[in-house]
């Protein structure tokens, strides 16, 4: 029997509402939900392929446990017994830091991934935590932490109202947005231009987004911070800095002006390969626009000065008076945010509270660089224990971290490893236990993280579109049981995990003077929660304590889970609104424009003024039908233009004697790979581009389609030594490489 069901799409950060067609328990179609309060019917090719992804025959249907060296099918009870037996002895013998936790990007796309991994890390007490953030976005967290006192307080461009948008290192026509949740990002950019606004794109590649822009500046990779510093300098030099109404909440303006004194447009022009006059024009137009927003993304994050570039993006928004005002860059307010506390000084943001064991990288946001995972496993030191057991949740660092070959070997030497993953992929093939979550149609969905980055405040929740298949376990239960097994409570009722969180949260809430439940009985409040299970009760609690919540009866019109369920297409909570100074958590209670760690890193940027890389450098590339390493096994999402080819400019191709389609050996500090050339003037001369997430050619995986067209792992060109020092983020863009054309008969992938 055919029916439809609503499901928020988990396949990128845009969070579109989908209408799924379900036939006999299988998803057979997907279209955009026109009634969705946020996405209003938008869908992209990935969302349209939801059914194919959901029904991928290579998805594991039950747990696997390694016996006599081989992964074999097992019961859930056997699998969790093996997890407890594998992790606890390591903790007891070597201490908690000997157990590493790796969280991959899909964690932020599931409810379970938001609710349980923090409990796992806290319960283990480990400092060996690694996530996809340090190959992607940690610079933005660090700059927000330093500026605003909260690493998760990230302003987003007010796309629907701005008059002038400057994108640097961002390609939302392919990515559909990142650290800026906006269904139909392309349509919103077209609407900006249609209402007379200006779109400028700064990118070494002429991307689809750049082609839509009024102006495209093909900057030299890795020099974004220099360009942005020169723009900030110009604002001061030409008297264009105007903080507007938020000035009383901002400190450090004079110190900032002095610190940027020598970053003139003329001084950065050669390094950036952008005329000084063009930089001044760009700056004047930004300052003159009635409203404007600067937005930087992965191309400006995954570079040697990623934190400085991320900081300077917000510096420009602040100096032009565009931070925290409509049409500028604003702080979203999600429905599950904590109860807003009164404005005032906070604890501030600290970096380097502990360090990695081998190369002493400072932690950032409680995480160590993913680039250091391999050495934290394979390198003994006089002090501290190597990582001997690993918990990987939705993580494939063999492909997503630098030097996958080294990590591949290191994983093979672990005492124990458990992967929560639907696939037997390049990383989970090393696990002793694999715990597969059900396909997305069988899971509920709410976007805890992405709503804090959304260009419009709204809230949506979808229950599972189809029931769990026999033998499947809900992802929330898998992770709750994993928490118990890893933390010495194996065998306890998984519902106890949710009950514990609810009791602790309500216990704190009733003691907080600003809470709507101040002074009430937490047990009485817990008894008021609705929901069919623990995760739903936790969602209900967060909604009711949140900024739009009913405060457990304090506001009869406020949000509850019941009210949300009565609005299956979501509830619109209005456009973004100015919020300063309330969300600031700096020690001063103000925006701290020139934090000390930033000031201390500026000499490194100053040294880059003299940089003129002579050889070829590598940058990444994103495709609309792809998302990191996890969608290459779906035929509908591969092929055509979504191929692992090496883009290079015709001038470089001619100089090196490379023909279109010819295999080219690319060599970097970490190794070499061979990929077919795609000669195109969409990259600037001196720059080559490979997409990431490919390299599905290792034995022991179960990714039939991906293995048929494996591509190469671009991260093998990196040795893991290049990091942005403040954030620990891997440098993935602007990396020096050498090329050598091969004959057509050359092997697809070569060793070191």
Q: How far is the CB of 52 from ligand SF4 (least distance, A)?
A: 13
Interaction between residue 453 and ligand SF4 (CB under 6 A): no
Q: Could you say which DSSP state residue 14 is in? A: T
- Residue 15 in the binding site for ligand SF4 (CB under 6 A): yes
Which residue number, 36 or 224, has a Cβ lying nearer to ligand SF4? 36
Q: Which stretch binds ligand SF4 (CB under 6 A): 8-16, 348-356, 504-512, 585-593?
A: 8-16
Whether residue 350 contacts residue 270, with contact meaning beta carbons closer than 8 Å, is answered with no
Report the residue number, 184 or 601, with the smaller CB distance to ligand SF4.
184
Q: Which CB atom, from 11 or from 120, has the smaller least distance to ligand SF4? A: 11
Q: What Cα–Cα distance (Å) separates residue 433 from each residue in 56, 78, 130, 643, 667?
A: 21, 10, 20, 32, 35
Q: What is the DSSP letter of 304?
A: T
Which segment (7-15, 68-76, 519-527, 628-636) binds ligand SF4 by CB under 6 A? 7-15
Question: What does the angle CA 242 – CA 248 – CA 249 come to, to the nearest 5 degrees?
Answer: 100
> How many residues line the site for ligand SF4 (CB under 6 A)?
12
Task: For the CB of residue 157, give the shortest distance to ligand SF4 in the complex, in Å.
Answer: 17
Which of 183/397 has CB closer to ligand SF4?
183
Strand order in the sheet with 17-23: 2-8, 17-23, 26-32
Site residues for ligand SF4, 33-72, by CB under 6 A, read 43-44, 46-47
351 makes contact with ligand SF4 (CB under 6 A): no
Minimum CB separation of residue 116 from ligand SF4 in Å reads 23
Q: Which is nearer to ligand SF4, 47 or 86 (CB)?
A: 47
Nearer to ligand SF4, 44 or 91 (CB): 44
Q: To the nearest whole angstrom, how small is the minimum distance from the Cβ of residue 110 to ligand SF4? A: 13
Q: What's the min distance (Å) between Cβ of 175 and ligand SF4?
A: 9
> Residue 589: helix, strand or coil by DSSP?
coil
Residue 189 binds ligand SF4 (CB under 6 A): no
Stretch that binds ligand SF4, among 6-14, 135-143, 191-199, 273-281 (CB under 6 A): 6-14
Asked if residue 446 binds ligand SF4 (CB under 6 A), the reply is: no
Report the chain's C-alpha Rg in angstroms.
25
Alpha helices in 17-161 (DSSP H): 45-48, 50-54, 76-94, 111-115, 117-124, 138-148
Q: How far is the CB of 183 from ligand SF4 (least distance, A)?
A: 6
Task: Please give the Cα distance from 171 to 137 (Å, whole number).
Answer: 15
* Residue 108 makes contact with ligand SF4 by CB under 6 A: no
Which residue's beta carbon is nearest to the bound ligand SF4?
47
DSSP per-residue codes, 384-450? SPPP-EEEEES--HHHHSS-HHHHHHHHHT-SEEEEE-SS--TTGGG-SEEEPPPPGGGS-B--TTG
Q: Counting contacts by CB under 6 A, is residue 431 touching ligand SF4?
A: no
Question: Which is nearer to ligand SF4, 11 or 65 (by Cβ)?
Answer: 11
CB of 50 to ligand SF4, least distance (A): 8
The reply to whether 14 sits near ligand SF4 by the rule CB under 6 A is yes
**Which of 530, 569, 535 has its CA nearest to residue 550?**
530
Closer residue to ligand SF4 in complex, CB, 16/147: 16
Q: Which is nearer to ligand SF4, 309 or 455 (CB)?
A: 455
Which of 46, 141 has the CB closer to ligand SF4? 46
CA distance 270 to 655: 23
The distance of closest approach from Cβ of residue 601 to ligand SF4 in the complex, given in angstroms and rounded to an integer, is 34
- Residues 157-176 interacting with ligand SF4 (rule: CB under 6 A): 176
Count CB-CB contacts under 10 A for residue 76. 16
How far apart CA 376 and CA 6 sit, in angstroms, is: 43
Give the integer Cα–Cα distance in Å for 54 and 29: 11
| Angstrom distance (rounded) from CA 666 to CA 156 | 37
Cβ neighbourhood burial of 21 (10 Å; 0-12, 13-18, 19+) = middle
- Which residue is it, tokens 């189809």? 466
CB of 641 to ligand SF4, least distance (A): 17
Q: Between 186 and 328, name the residue whose CB sits nearer to ligand SF4.
A: 186
CB closer to ligand SF4, 586 vs 633: 633
Cβ at position 15, least distance to ligand SF4 in Å: 5
* CB-based contacts of 738, cutoff 8 Å, min separation 6: 615, 616, 666, 667, 668
- Per CB under 6 A, 623 contacts ligand SF4: no
161 CB-near residues (< 8 Å, 6+ apart):
291, 326, 327, 575
| Cα–Cα distance for residue pair 673/459, rounded to 1 Å | 44
11 binds ligand SF4 (CB under 6 A): yes
Distances (CA, A) of 5 to 30, 79, 110, 370: 10, 32, 18, 38
CB of 14 to ligand SF4, least distance (A): 4
71 vs 189, which CB is nearer to ligand SF4? Answer: 189
Burial class (CB in 10 A: 0-12, 13-18, 19+), 458: buried
CB of residue 35 vs ligand SF4: minimum separation in angstroms?
15
Cβ 177 to ligand SF4 shortest distance, Å: 8
Instruction: Report whether 318 contacts 287 (CB < 8 A).
Output: no
Would you say 398 and 419 are in contact if contact means Cβ atoms under 8 Å apart?
Answer: no
622 binds ligand SF4 (CB under 6 A): no
CA 398 – CA 374 distance, rounded (Å): 10
Q: Specify the residue, 176 or 396, whose C-beta has the smaller distance to ligand SF4.
A: 176
Query: What are φ and ψ of residue 166, in 5° steps?
Result: -115, 115
Residues 527-586 that bind ligand SF4 (CB under 6 A): none
Instruction: Find the shortest distance in angstroms from Cβ 462 to ligand SF4.
Output: 13
Q: Which residue number, 183 or 597, has a Cβ lying nearer to ligand SF4? A: 183
Chain-centroid distance, C-alpha 474: 24
What is the C-alpha to C-alpha distance for residues 674 and 677, in angstroms, rounded to an integer? 9
Distance, in Å, from the CA atom of 731 to the CA atom of 718, rounded to the nearest integer, reads 9
CB of 683 to ligand SF4, least distance (A): 25
User: Is there binding between residue 637 and ligand SF4 (CB under 6 A)?
Assistant: no
DSSP three-state, residue 560: coil
Out of 6, 7, 12, 369, name the contact with ligand SF4 by CB under 6 A: 12
142 by Cβ neighbours in 10 Å (0-12 / 13-18 / 19+) ranks as buried
Question: Contact region for ligand SF4 (CB under 6 A) — 13-21, 415-423, 551-559, 571-579?
Answer: 13-21
Q: Which stretch binds ligand SF4 (CB under 6 A): 14-22, 448-456, 528-536, 701-709?
A: 14-22
Smallest gap from residue 6 Cβ to ligand SF4 (A) = 13
Residue 129 lies near ligand SF4 (rule: CB under 6 A): no
Is the Cα dihedral 9, 10, 14, 15 positive or negative?
A: positive
Asked if residue 183 binds ligand SF4 (CB under 6 A), the reply is yes
Q: Given the complex with ligand SF4, which of 263 and 630 has the nearer CB atom? A: 630
* Residues near ligand SF4, by CB under 6 A: 9, 11-12, 14-16, 43-44, 46-47, 176, 183
């Amino acid at each position: 029997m055919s029916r439809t069901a609503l499901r928020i799409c988990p396949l990128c950060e845009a969070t579109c509402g989908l209408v799924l067609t379900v036939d006999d328990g299988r998803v057979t179609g997907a279209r955009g939900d026109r009634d969705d309060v946020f996405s209003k019917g938008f869908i992209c090719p990935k969302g349209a392929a939801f059914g194919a992804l959901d029904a991928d025959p290579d998805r594991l249907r039950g747990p696997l446990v390694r016996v006599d060296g081989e992964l074999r099918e097992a019961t859930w009870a056997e699998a969790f017994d093996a997890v407890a037996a594998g992790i606890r002895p390591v903790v007891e013998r070597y201490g908690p830091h000997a157990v590493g936790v790796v969280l991959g990007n899909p964690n932020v796309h599931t409810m379970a991934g938001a609710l349980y991994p923090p409990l796992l890390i806290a319960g283990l007490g480990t400092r060996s935590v690694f996530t996809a953030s340090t190959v992607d976005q940690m610079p933005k967290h660090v700059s927000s932490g330093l500026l605003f006192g909260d690493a998760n307080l990230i302003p987003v461009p007010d796309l629907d109202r701005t008059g002038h948008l400057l994108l640097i290192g961002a390609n939302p026509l392919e990515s559909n947005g990142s650290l800026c949740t906006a269904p139909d990002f392309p349509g919103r950019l077209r609407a900006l231009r249609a209402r007379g606004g200006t779109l400028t794109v700064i990118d070494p590649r002429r991307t689809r987004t750049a082609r839509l822009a009024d102006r495209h500046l093909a900057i030299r990779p890795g020099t974004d911070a220099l360009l942005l510093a020169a723009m900030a300098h110009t604002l001061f030099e030409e008297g264009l800095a105007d903080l507007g109404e938020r000035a009383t909440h901002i400190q450090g303006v004079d110190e900032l002006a002095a610190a940027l004194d020598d970053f003139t447009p003329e001084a950065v022009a050669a390094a950036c390969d952008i005329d000084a006059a063009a930089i001044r024009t760009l700056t004047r137009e930004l300052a003159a626009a009635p409203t404007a927003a600067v937005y930087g993304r992965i191309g400006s994050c995954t570079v040697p000065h990623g934190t400085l570039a991320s900081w300077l993006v917000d510096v420009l928004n602040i100096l032009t008076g565009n931070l925290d005002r409509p049409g500028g860059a604003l702080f979203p307010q999600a429905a599950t945010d904590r109860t807003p506390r009164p404005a005032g000084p906070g604890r501030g943001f600290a970096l380097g509270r502990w360090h990695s064991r081998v190369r002493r990288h400072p932690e950032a946001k409680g995480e160590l660089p993913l680039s250091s995972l391999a050495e934290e496993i394979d390198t003994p030191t006089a002090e501290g224990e190597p990582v001997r057991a690993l918990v990987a949740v939705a993580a494939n660092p063999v492909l997503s971290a630098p030097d996958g070959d080294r990590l591949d070997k290191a994983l093979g030497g672990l005492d124990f490893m458990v992967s929560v993953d639907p696939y037997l992929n390049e990383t989970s093939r090393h696990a002793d236990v694999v715990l597969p979550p059900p396909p997305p149609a069988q899971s509920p969905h709410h976007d805890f993280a992405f709503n804090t980055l959304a260009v419009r405040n709204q809230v949506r929740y979808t229950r599972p579109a189809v029931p769990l298949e026999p033998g499947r376990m809900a992802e929330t239960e898998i992770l709750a049981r994993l928490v118990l097994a890893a933390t010495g409570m194996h065998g306890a009722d998984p519902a106890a995990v949710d009950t514990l969180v609810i009791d602790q949260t309500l216990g704190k809430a009733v003691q907080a003077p600003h809470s709507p439940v101040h002074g009430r009985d937490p047990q009485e409040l817990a008894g008021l929660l609705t929901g069919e299970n623990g995760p739903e009760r936790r969602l209900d609690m967060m909604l009711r304590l949140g900024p739009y919540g009913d405060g457990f009866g304090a506001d009869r019109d406020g949000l509850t889970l019941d009210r949300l369920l009565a609005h299956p297409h979501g509830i619109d909570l209005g456009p973004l609104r100015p919020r300063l100074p309330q969300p600031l958590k700096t020690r001063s209670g103000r925006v701290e424009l020139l934090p000390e760690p930033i000031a201390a890193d500026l000499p490194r940027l100053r040294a880059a003024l003299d940089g003129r890389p002579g050889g070829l450098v590598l940058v990444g590339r994103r495709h609309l039908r792809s998302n990191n390493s996890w969608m290459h096994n779906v035929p509908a999402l591969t092929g055509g233009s979504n191929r692992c080819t090496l883009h290079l400019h015709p001038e470089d191709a001619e100089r090196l004697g490379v023909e279109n389609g010819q295999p080219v050996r690319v060599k970097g500090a970490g190794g070499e790979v061979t990929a077919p050339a795609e000669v195109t003037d969409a990259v600037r001369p001196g720059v080559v581009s490979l997409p990431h997430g490919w390299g599905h050619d290792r034995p022991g995986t179960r990714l039939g389609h991906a293995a048929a067209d494996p591509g190469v792992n671009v991260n093998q060109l990196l040795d893991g030594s290049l990091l942005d020092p403040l954030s620990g983020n891997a440098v993935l863009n602007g990396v020096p490489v050498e090329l050598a054309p091969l004959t057509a008969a050359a092997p697809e992938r070569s060793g070191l």
